[in-house]
Structure 1
Amino acid sequence: MGGESAKSYTLEQILTTALHQQQAIALWRLPLQTEVQACISFAPQKMSAIPALETSPAGFLFCPFVTDGDEPHIFLKADLHYSSHTKQLLPAADAPEALVNSFTAALDQPETRTSAAWPIPVHTDHFKGRNEETFTAAVSLAVDAIRAEAMEKVVLSRINTTPLPSAFSLINAFEKMLQAYPNAFVSLVAIPGIGTWMGASPEILVSVDQQQIFKTVALAGTQPLCEDGSTANAIWRQKEIEEQGMVERYVLSCFKKLRLREYSEVGPRTVIAGNLMHLRTDFKVDLKEVDFPTLGTDMLRLLHPTSAVCGLPKEPALRFILNHEGYNRSYYSGFLGPVNSSDGSYQFVNLRCMQLLQHEAVLYAGAGITGDSSPEKEWQETKHKLQTMLKILSEF
């Protein structure tokens, strides 16, 4: 880009230019940070399996719930990278020069400062939400299967399709999420032919930071935030404690499969995520002391889909979901995040999210079902979780 790299751009310029040029883009902000980053990929790679993190170029991964289903795993190589701190757009060394020049020239064109259509999925006929009656019936069926010992736990989800407010703006919605959810991984992904997703996820799947510290969490159990906004008075029922314990044991079983013994474990403790509280246990491995260079990828492949979004044991729970949930989750409860960025690699579970259609938003929420579940309470839990994105839409 020559002298162009010293120019300053706004996040809105970067996003609207990518949409006008129909280039794939991901925007994100890590929890408790202020820097918003973006990457533009000129040729998104569609893969049939989860790629290796360690050998990957810098970019952004966007993966579906079902690892071997119809939706591909998508890698957005960072041909262009933007930071809100520097306000500069930097090309990768191997980015195609003609496309880089075309993009930077478009940044300065008046027409690319106007809003453009975001990508929508090719098929939009399967966004039919379940009502309370059909959802609670599926939960009752799950409780019967669990009590019959067909499985220990299953996570059932549903969608809520709602009209987009007339004043809705993609960049404004993203900025509202940044402000509302400082503790979450906030993201916006727009990929031509795939669609546009945005969300504020509370759950890390795996991360390996610049200090070579590997992390994962066991997050489960949900209740509304206490009125005083603190966790001091949180009281957990046996059902939620057991649910969180299952996720914890699942993480430990993955460590065991890899014969990994050197890890630290802190929790469970109560954490706040938006308008909700969860139980969370943190696991950490120092890869400078433990010789396990592929731990990030190995754990990603073993963990996903975790018992927090699928169930236990994984196979019967997944079968139950595919047979009884009544819709295709697509990229909901899959995972997403930066790979080999300046911060490291961070993959989050795609929760508290919505997918944008032309005039509607499809919101997603799920609840963990155990033998003690009450169908009505699980319906209420999904209603609480839907508020994360409904709150953003209500501000327009």
Structure 2
Amino acid sequence: MEQAVGIGGETGGHYTLEQVLTAALRQQLAIAVWRLPLQTEVQACISFAPQSTPAIPALEPSPAGFLFCPFETEGEHGHIFLKADIRYSSLTGQITTAPDAPATKASLFTEVVMQSEIGEPSAWPIPAKPTRHADRNEETFTAAASLAVDAIRAETMEKVVLSRTSTTPLPAGFSLLKAFEKMLAAYPNAFVSLVAIPGVGTWLGATPEILVSVDQQQVFKTVALAGTQPLCEDGSTANAIWRQKEIEEQGMVERYVLSCFKKLRLREYTEVGPRTVIAGNLMHLRTDFKVDLKEVDFPTLGTDMLRLLHPTSAVCGLPKEPSQRFILDHEGYDRCYYSGFLGPVNSEAGTYLFVNLRCMQLLEHEAVLYAGAGITGESSPEKEWQETRHKLQTMFKILSEF
């Protein structure tokens, strides 16, 4: 039985997210803070000893915690698991310690939480080895997109997702907590997250795309999400008109999900869509897939689908191998944890892993923002550049509010 740690180690106590975040930063502990789409509860987990593995870990036997994984499955960046040694819920204001968490560290953390409103908050962690970022201008990005269109028309691949970075100075008065709170308010439909891991770095994001989830009712879900256009002026999806390029792009992602089911010989699933959904200032086409694990004997479906899906055709391309090779050869920077995946594992609500899109990485004085666009044989490189500009606005909007 877990015990809520309060003042003096007794059950009880009521803390703010600011106290919990400040205490974690002050003690240089790894912390993940998140809110699931359309929920009000903000949750956090603090890990005393983050684990890094070279491959995607199995979900089902995992203790409760938070996964933070890179774009490249077998690259230089590790798949990081934060075991939930300490958990926090904004609904109760309590912090809860896991039974196997080191008692001395848990007790010290509680003491620091109680004092954490005193003084300035500590700096957020930055990478031990800064990754290569080379912001592309319109000319160099559209040149790479043109190369991609030529490769697709030559039938070396069907689709590739090219991304770029935009590095901007952090505004005066920037606050990690306030930025997270601004994202919560601006993007209620998104998975909003803040991940700060010593030696790895600090990331903020508001992603619309679920990769894999298994809820309390043992229902597995994934989505096919692709196609992008600015939100209609009236803010509704009723007048959305999709071009053939976007319909085909979404169809590719859908077929990719179905091919993964086929590899696992899974036939019992439901499919709903495609339909138009809103994500911040954008609209996308989305198809939902669902499997009831109470009716289908497939206990490892979450892990098996995760390993087959990632990186999805929505962030990489089709077929996976040639498109990923094109990205590594022509994108011009290290994606690191952008377009990887993240989320809570085996929490009380279940497992919810999202693609790390609409995000930024915080450096000491700068923010690195990320955005990508799906290139097909029908693509206009100039329109793909505009799509990345629209997507970058999700995080620029947050920074502009300081």
Instruction: Quickly name the TM-score band, shorter chain normalised.
Output: over 0.9
Paired residue secondary structure (2:127): coil
Conserved 8 A contact 1:5-1:89: no
Match of 2:106 in 1: 100
The percent identity for this pair of structures is 80
Task: Indicate which of 140, 149, 169 corresponds to 2:146.
Answer: 140
CA distance in 2, matches of 1:201, 1:313: 24
1:110–1:95 Cα change, 3 Å: closer
Matching residue's letter, 1:343: A
For residues 62-84 of structure 1, what are the alpha-carbon distances to aligned partners after superposition, in whole Å with 9 as ceiling and x for unaligned? Answer: 00000000000000000000000
Q: 1:101-139: per-residue Cα shift (whole Å, max 9, x none)?
A: 111111122575521100001233612211111100000
Which of 153, 164, 173 is matched with 1:167 structurally? Answer: 173
- Per-residue CA deviation, residues 220-267 of structure 1 (Å, 9 max, x unaligned), is 000000000000000000000000000000000000000000000000
Checking the alignment, whether the CA contact within 8 Å between 2:230 and 2:283 is kept in structure 1 is yes
Does 2:42 correspond to 1:36? Answer: yes
Secondary structure of the structure 1 residue equivalent to 2:392: helix
Structure 2 matches for 1:1-396, cutoff 5 A?
1=5, 3-109=9-115, 114-124=120-130, 126-396=132-402
Secondary structure of the residue aligned to 1:108 is helix
Distance in 2 (CA, whole Å) between partners of 1:125 and 1:196 is 13
For 2:155 and 2:134, locate their aligned partners in 1 and report how far apart those are by CA, in whole Å.
31
**Cα separation, partners in 2 of 1:112 and 1:78, compared to 1, 3 Å:** farther
Query: Could you tell me how far apart the structure 2 residues matched to 1:161 and 1:22 are?
Result: 25
Shift of 1:349: 0.1
Task: Give CA-to-partner distance per residue, 1:158-191, whole Å, 9 cap, x none.
Answer: 0000000011000000000000000000000000
| Residue pair 2:131, 2:334 contacting (<8 A) in 1 also | no
CA distance in 1, matches of 2:157, 2:131: 31
**Counterpart residue type for residue 65 of structure 2:** G
CA distance in 2, matches of 1:108, 1:58: 25
CA contact (8 A) 1:20 1:112 kept: no
Distance 2:333 2:131 in 1: 10
Q: Give the TM-score normalised by structure 2.
A: 0.97
Q: What's the CA shift string for 1:188-211, capped at 9, x where partnerless?
A: 000000000010000000000000
Contact 1:17 1:112 in 2 (8 A): no
Whole-Å Cα distance in 1 between the matches of residues 231 and 116 of structure 2? 45
Asked if 2 retains the 8 angstrom alpha-carbon contact of 1:13 and 1:112, the reply is: no
TM-score by length of 1: 0.99
Structure 2: distance between partners of 1:39 and 1:3: 18
Gaps of at least 5 residues in structure 1 are: none
Q: d(CA) in 2 for partners of 1:130 and 1:14?
A: 38
Task: Give the whole-Å Cα distance in 1 for the aligned partners of 2:57 and 2:399.
Answer: 34
- Cα 1:107/1:263, change in 2 over 3 Å: same
Q: How far apart in 1 are the matches of 2:117 and 2:375? A: 50
Q: Is contact 2:337-2:356 (8 Å) kept?
A: yes
Paired residues of 1:206 and 1:216 also in contact (CA < 8 A): yes
| Partners of 1:28 and 1:5 in 2: CA distance | 24
Aligned equivalents of 1:137, 1:166: Cα separation in 2: 35
Whether the 8 Å contact between 2:71 and 2:335 is mirrored in structure 1 is yes
**Counterparts of 1:195 and 1:172, CA distance in 2:** 18
2:268 match: secondary structure: coil
Change in CA separation of 1:58 and 1:137 when aligned onto 2, cut-off 3 Å:
same
Q: Which amino acid aligns with 2:275?
A: R
**Cα separation, 2, equivalents of 1:386 and 1:205:** 21
Moved over 6 A (4+): none
**Unaligned 5+ runs, structure 2:** none
CA contact (8 A) 1:13 1:113 kept: no
Matching residue's letter, 1:17? A
Checking the alignment, whether the CA contact within 8 Å between 1:5 and 1:90 is kept in structure 2 is no
Deviations 1:260-299 (A, max 9, x none): 0000000000000000000000000000001100000000
Q: Distance in 1 between matches of 2:114 and 2:86?
A: 16
Query: Given the superposition, is the C-alpha separation of residues 215 and 73 from structure 1 closer, same or farther in structure 2, using an over 3 Å criterion?
Result: same
Structure 2: distance between partners of 1:73 and 1:206: 16
